[in-house]
């Protein structure tokens, strides 16, 4: 018998998104372990007066809170709080080794190599804890973050990473994001299901439950109270090369304007039926962008509407994820090599036959940096603060990155190519191919559009586990509320 | 062989044994972890050379191993086919070892995970015959199973021997390092050749019309 999900014991950001428009991730070193343990105790005490409380998954009874707080720890963070070496050794090896040591496997090479990561991510051993504040507005975000830092006196701030939603849920590159997420047995029922994809076992996200890989259960790190109901987060700072991406779309559109295949890809005049109608060149740019992703900019799936982002009748919001690929075996509508189809093949035939639903991850991302305006291009760093959550980093996040995003092992027709948006492409070898009827369109010579600039593998403990961690400081903890040292 | 030749060979063996034991203590070498390559083609056609000492290495014990593989061969082969990324797999008895050699595409750990989910239970039965088996069933102990397989997978010596010891500053020590590496790893793969490098099994199946 599977244990029932104990909602108040889970951190609230795992199985649901808060849909808050402002996020601050505080990347921290634990300077004073006893004080850090005391803060963990305070933050799970139910008493908001000392410090903001860690948000649990307990359903909200009344109004939504204006802010939510969650935490994740690295292996060195666990050690710093006093978790024993034997206990740390019971965590998965990739988590203990840390994200930078997995760089080649997950494609962090060339411009994404950890040696080029931002200063705060350079010394991996110093990164102990990330506290994420989700808020309704910037003022609340700042106030909550300041209260956390002031109340604890335990942490040194390595970086405060701010992300803000763009209008319409868009991210850099112009796509609408946060539409597809896995749905779980025991969580999603007939009244709150958003699509027909098979429900996923909760063990894909939380430790201690059956997983989508038949019969397999991941080890729950010991002691049980620390591991059970925990989850992992591959947190990534992903810089997006927006200017290069836009330029690439323009080059592709220019080619399709003269190449006869452009006419078959988008029958002339079709773009005038779009809402709003578009110039042919702009429409071809959008078409290429959609082929690279699997959805039009506005979120309409190519699979449901291959020629127009504004099909008639319109596709309702609740239907935007309700599709599969089994009727499109060759990728005529949605290319096999597109970002989405590689990242979740849904019901498509794939090489690793028992893996279709085994690598599902929860994605929570928010843009950082100013929005790119082609009319007024400002040089600035911009990208996505991305949390990729799962129960097994190596069999979900890393497996995705290693042989689907890159390598393309998923289907022989794309093996040897990388994800056109996310993959670590370099112009000499990069290739993105998709069929148009009997013909093929191939684009080459594009670079790596997304560079990793930092990140860490974090363990997201349950509320009981946080209390356990807090108890490790017992006896040693001295509550001092001296202001924390902010390092800019 | 003359008596002198025998004595000198014997003395040499003793000196070597003492020397290796000494080196092992003062200048140990680490067996490098397998490196992932950034070249796409290098991540296809990976090799696994699993050497598993049998608990009973007598003719009777070895006969039991042959029978156990034979009894499960259809299930093993169907499972291997269903993993989807396996080019070849062989089961051999070499000395007192049950060996499984295979060529597969992609990441070793992902391969073993797929392997557990596809035919872990059959493999668990085989592991009952092996000395020092991993905890069973593999599906409930996937991490231990994968680590165990990794430990029994013969170390693969790269083409460029010098790349084995990146931290070695003195080139003269390389042969000593190699001796120590072989001291720590009884079984190693020395070289491999492919007639069609950089191609996945699914690409071959697809290209030859076999269906993948
Ligand atoms: C800056 C980096 C990234 C950008 C701009 C990006 C963009 C997008 C967008 C716009 C969507 C479609 C929206 C939706 O369906 O929710 C999407 C879907 C998805 N992405 Fe990404 N992504 C990025 C990084 C990643 C990474 C690192 C991974 C995995 C390791 C990933 C995995 C996925 C998955 C699994 C889906 C859903 C596919 C489906 O369920 O059909 N993405 N991404």
- Distance between CA atoms of A422 and A57, rounded to whole angstroms? 31
- The three-class DSSP label of residue B161 is helix
Mutation choice for ligand 1 from A340, A403, A451, CB with most ligand atoms inside 8 A: A340
Distance A339 CA to ligand 1 centre (A): 7
Determine the pLDDT at residue B91.
96
Given a contact cutoff of 8 angstroms between Cβ atoms, the answer to whether B94 and B65 are in contact is no
Which pair of structure tokens corresponds to residue A219? Answer: 């080890």
The per-residue pLDDT for range B99-157, each reduced to its tens digit, is 999 999 998 888 888 888 888 888 898 999 999 999 999 999 999 999 999 999 999 99
Domains and CATH numbers, chain B: 42-157+189-203 (3.30.70.100)
Of A214, A418, A424, the CB nearest to B117: A214
**A168 and chain B: CB distance < 8 Å anywhere?**
no
Tokens 């070793």, located at residue: B108
This prediction has a pTM of: 0.94
**B135 and chain A: CB distance < 8 Å anywhere?**
no
pLDDT in tens, chain A (488 residues): 677 899 999 999 999 899 999 999 999 999 999 999 999 999 999 999 999 999 999 999 888 999 999 999 999 999 999 999 999 999 999 999 999 999 999 999 999 999 999 999 999 999 999 999 999 999 999 999 999 999 878 999 999 999 999 999 999 999 999 999 999 988 887 777 778 788 999 999 999 999 988 789 999 999 999 999 999 999 999 999 999 999 999 999 999 999 999 999 999 999 999 999 999 999 999 999 999 999 999 999 999 999 999 999 999 998 999 999 999 999 999 999 999 999 999 999 999 988 999 999 999 999 999 999 988 888 899 999 999 999 999 999 999 999 999 999 999 999 999 999 999 999 999 999 999 999 999 999 999 999 999 999 999 999 999 999 999 986 443 333 333 332 33
- Distance between CA atoms of A104 and A398, rounded to whole angstroms? 11
Ligand 1 interacting residues, C-beta cut-off 6 A: A 171, 173, 175, 177-180, 238, 240, 293, 295, 339-340, 343-344, 361, 363, 383-384, 386, 388, 397, 400-401, 422, 450
Determine the pLDDT at residue A474.
66
Distance of residue B47 Cα from the nearest chain A Cα, in angstroms:
16
ipTM value = 0.90
Determine the pLDDT at residue A1.
65
Of B37, B83, B200, the CB nearest to A415: B200
Does B32 or A392 have the greater pLDDT score?
Answer: A392
Sheet holding B97-104, edge to edge: B46-53, B97-104, B86-94
- Distance between CA atoms of B103 and B80, rounded to whole angstroms? 11
Given a contact cutoff of 8 angstroms between Cβ atoms, the answer to whether A385 and A25 are in contact is yes
Closest ligand 1 atom to residue A360 Cα is 35
Mean pLDDT of B167-184: 88
Alpha helices in B27-172 (DSSP H): 59-83, 108-127, 142-152
Beta bridge partners of A355: none
- Distance between CA atoms of B212 and B201, rounded to whole angstroms? 8
Interface of A with B in 311-370 (CB under 8 A): 350-355
Q: For residue A326, which phi and psi values (nearest 5 degrees)?
A: -65, -25
Mean pLDDT of chain B: 91
Tokens 């997995």, located at residue: A102
Which pair of structure tokens corresponds to residue B149? Answer: 């397989």
**B110 and chain A: CB distance < 8 Å anywhere?**
yes
Q: For residue B16, which phi and psi values (nearest 5 degrees)?
A: -60, -45
Spatial CA neighbour of A465 closest among A233, A220, A225, A232: A225
Q: Per-residue pLDDT for B82 more than 80?
A: yes
Distance of residue B43 Cα from the nearest chain A Cα, in angstroms:
8
- Test B82 with A406 for CB contact under 8 angstroms: no
Mutation choice for ligand 1 from A177, A194, A200, CB with most ligand atoms inside 8 A: A177
Which pair of structure tokens corresponds to residue A249? Answer: 């779309």
Which whole-number Å values give the CA distances from A389 to A15, A53, A112, A365, B91, in the listed order? Answer: 10, 22, 20, 11, 38
Residues of A in contact with B41 (CB under 8 A): 416
Which pair of structure tokens corresponds to residue B1? Answer: 């062989």
- Test B36 with A415 for CB contact under 8 angstroms: no
């Amino acid at each position: 018998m599977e244990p029932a999900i104990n909602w108040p014991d889970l951190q609230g950001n795992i199985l649901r998104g808060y849909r808050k428009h402002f996020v601050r991730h505080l990347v921290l070193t634990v300077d004073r372990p006893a004080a850090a343990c005391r803060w963990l105790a305070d933050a799970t005490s139910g008493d908001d007066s000392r410090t903001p409380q860690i948000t649990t998954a307990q359903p909200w009874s009344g109004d939504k809170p204006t802010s939510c707080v969650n935490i994740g720890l690295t292996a060195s963070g666990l050690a710093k709080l006093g978790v024993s070496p034997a206990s740390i050794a019971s965590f998965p090896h990739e988590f203990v080794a840390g994200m930078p040591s997995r760089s080649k496997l997950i494609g962090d090479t060339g411009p994404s190599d950890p040696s080029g990561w931002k200063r705060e991510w350079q010394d991996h051993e110093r990164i102990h804890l990330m506290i994420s504040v989700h808020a309704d507005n910037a003022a609340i975000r700042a106030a909550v973050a300041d209260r956390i830092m002031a109340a604890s006196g335990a942490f040194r701030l390595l970086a405060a990473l701010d992300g803000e939603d763009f209008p319409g849920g868009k991210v850099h590159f112009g796509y609408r994001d946060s539409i597809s997420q896995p749905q779980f047995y025991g969580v999603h029922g007939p009244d709150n299901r958003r699509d027909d994809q098979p429900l996923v076992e909760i063990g894909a996200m939380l430790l201690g439950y059956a997983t989508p890989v038949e019969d397999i259960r991941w080890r729950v790190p010991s002691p049980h109270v620390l591991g059970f109901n925990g989850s992992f987060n591959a947190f990534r700072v992903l810089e997006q090369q927006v200017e290069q991406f836009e330029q690439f779309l323009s080059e592709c559109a220019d080619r399709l304007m003269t190449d006869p295949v452009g006419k078959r890809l988008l029958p002339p005049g079709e773009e005038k039926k779009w809402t709003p109608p578009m110039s042919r060149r702009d429409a071809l740019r959008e078409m290429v962008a959609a082929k690279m992703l699997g959805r039009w900019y506005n979120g309409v799936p190519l699979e449901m509407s291959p020629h127009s982002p504004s099909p008639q009748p319109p596709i309702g919001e609740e239907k935007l994820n309700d599709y599969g690929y089994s009727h499109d075996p060759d990728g005529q509508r949605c290319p096999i090599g597109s970002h989405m189809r590689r990242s979740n093949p849904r019901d498509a035939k794939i090489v690793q036959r028992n893996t279709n639903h085994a690598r599902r991850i929860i994605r929570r991302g928010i843009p950082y940096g100013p929005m790119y305006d082609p009319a007024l291009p400002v040089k600035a760093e911009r990208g996505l603060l991305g949390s990729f959550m799962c129960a097994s980093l190596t069999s979900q996040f890393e497996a995705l990155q290693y042989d689907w995003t890159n390598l393309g092992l998923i289907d022989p027709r794309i093996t040897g190519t990388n994800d056109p948006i996310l993959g670590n492409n370099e112009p000499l070898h990069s290739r993105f191919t998709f069929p148009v009827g009997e013909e093929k369109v191939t684009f080459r010579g594009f670079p790596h559009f997304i560079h990793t600039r930092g990140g860490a593998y974090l363990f997201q403990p349950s509320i009981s586990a946080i209390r356990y961690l807090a108890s490790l400081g017992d006896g040693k903890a001295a509550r001092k509320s001296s202001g924390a040292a902010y390092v800019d | 062989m003359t008596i002198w030749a025998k004595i000198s060979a014997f003395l040499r063996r003793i000196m070597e044994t003492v020397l290796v034991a000494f080196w092992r203590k003062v200048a140990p070498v680490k067996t490098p972890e397998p490196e992932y390559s950034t070249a796409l083609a290098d991540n296809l056609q990976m090799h696994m050379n699993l050497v598993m000492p049998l608990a009973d290495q007598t003719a009777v014990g070895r006969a039991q191993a042959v029978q156990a593989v034979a009894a499960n061969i259809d299930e093993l082969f169907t499972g291997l086919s269903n993993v989807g990324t396996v080019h070849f797999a062989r089961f051999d008895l070499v000395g007192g070892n049950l060996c499984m050699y295979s060529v597969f595409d992609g990441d070793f750990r992902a391969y073993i995970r797929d392997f557990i989910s596809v035919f872990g239970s059959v493999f668990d039965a085989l592991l009952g015959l092996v000395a020092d088996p991993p905890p069973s069933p593999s599906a409930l102990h996937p991490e231990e199973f994968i680590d165990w397989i990794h430990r029994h997978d013969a170390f693969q010596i790269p083409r460029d021997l010098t790349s084995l010891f990146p931290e070695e500053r003195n080139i003269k020590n390389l042969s000593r390092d190699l001796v120590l590496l072989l001291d720590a790893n009884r079984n190693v793969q020395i070289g491999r050749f492919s007639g069609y490098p950089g191609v996945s099994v699914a690409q071959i199946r697809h290209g030859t019309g076999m269906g993948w």
